Amino acid sequence: MRSPIVPIIGFLTGIIILAGYFVPSPVLEAIRTPMLDWAVILSGVAGLIAIFHLVFGVHGRRLRDPEKSHVFSFIVILVFMLTVAAGIFFGINHTGFQKVVTAIQMPMETSLMAVLAVTLAYSSLRLLQRQRNWMGFVFFIAVVLYLLVNSGIFALVTDITALRGLVAGISQAPLAGARGILIGVALGSLLTGIRILIGSDRPYNS
Partner 1 sequence: MNSLEMNIGLILLIIITFTLFFFSIRQRRTGKAPSFRRITAISNFKRSIGMSIEDGTRIHVSLGNASLTQAVSASAFASLKILRKIGELSSNSDNPPVASSGDGALALLSQDTLHDVARETHTLELFQSENGHLAGPTPVTNVVGALQTIADPEVHTNVLIGNYGSEVGFLSTASQDKGALTIAASDSLTAQATFFATVEQTLIGEELFAVPAYLHNEPMQNASLRIQDMLRGLVVLVLLVGVILKLVYAL
Partner 2 sequence: MTLDANLIWTIVSLVLTLFIFSYLFGDNILFRIACAILVGCTAGYLFVLIIYRVILPKLVVPLIEGSLIVLVPLFLSGLLLTKLSPKLSRLGNISMAYLVGAGAAIAVGGALLGTLFTQITGAVNSFAINDGTTKGINGVIVLESAFFLIGTISTLVYFNFTARSKDGQPAKRSPIVNLFAWIGQFFIAITLGAIFAGVLTSTITALIERIDFIITTISGFFG
Partner 3 sequence: MAEINCPICNRLNKDEAERCWYCQAVLHPEKKNADGSSDWLDGFRQENTETPFEESNEASAGSDESPEDVPDWLARIRQREQLEHGGEPEQNPDGEKDTLDWLRSAVGNESPTESNTFKPAEVNEPAPTESDNDADWLGKLQSWQEESSEPNKSPAPEHPFEQEPKPSFSGPSNQEPDWLNEFKSEAAQSEPLPPEKQPDDSSTGDKPSPENISAFEQEPKAPIAEEPIIEDSIPPTDAIGFSIPEGNVVKPSSPEPDWLTDFQSLDETKDLADQVMPKPAVEEPVKAPFSGRDIMDWIDKDRSTPEEKPENAVEQVEVPQGTDEGIEPAKLPSWLQALRPDKSKRGIAGSTTSSDLNQKSPLAGIEGVLQDSVIGQFYTRPQTYANTLKITPEQENHLQRLQNIAGEARWEAQESVESKRQSSILLKAVVSLLLIGVIVFTVLTQKNSLVEPTMYSQPVVETFNIISALDPAKPVLIAAEFDSGLYGELKWSSESLLQQLMARNIPIAYLSTTQAGSTLFQATITDLARKNQDYSLADHTLNLGYLTGGTVGLQALANDPRGTLPLTTLMKPAWTDTPLQNTEKISDFSAVIVITENADTARYWIEQVKPSMGKTPLLVVISAQSAPMLQPYYDSGQVNGYIAGESGGTAFEKMAGVEGSSTSHFSAYQSTLILLVVLIFVGGMISLVLSTPSPERSDKNQS
* 25-64: contacts with partner 3 (CB under 8 A): 33, 36-37, 39-40, 43-44
How near is the Cβ of 40 to partner 3 at its closest, in Å?
A: 3
One of 79, 128, 155, 160 touching partner 2 (CB under 8 A)? 79
Tell whether residue 134 is a contact of partner 1 (CB under 8 A). Answer: no
Nearer to partner 2, 66 or 205 (CB): 205
Residue closer to partner 1, measured from CB, 49 or 141: 49
Residue 110 interacting with partner 2 (CB under 8 A): yes
Is residue 60 near partner 2 by the rule CB under 8 A?
no
Member of 117, 161, 169, 200 binding partner 3 (CB under 8 A)? 117
Torsion angle defined by CA atoms of residues 153, 157, 163 and 169, in that order, rounded to the nearest 10 degrees: 30
Give the Å distances, CA to CA, from 185 to 106, 137, 170, 176: 32, 24, 24, 15
Q: What residues from 82 to 101 belong to the interface with partner 2 (CB under 8 A)?
A: 82-84, 87-88, 91-92, 96-97, 99-101
Q: Which is nearer to partner 3, 19 or 106 (CB)?
A: 106
**Radius of gyration of the chain from its Cα atoms, rounded to whole angstroms:** 26
Give the DSSP letter of residue 133.
S
* 199 phi, psi to nearest 5 deg: 85, 10
- Please report, for residues 99, 112, 121, the alpha-carbon distance to residue 107 in angstroms, rounded to integers and kept in the order given: 11, 9, 21
Answer whether 83's CB lies under 8 Å from 100's CB: yes
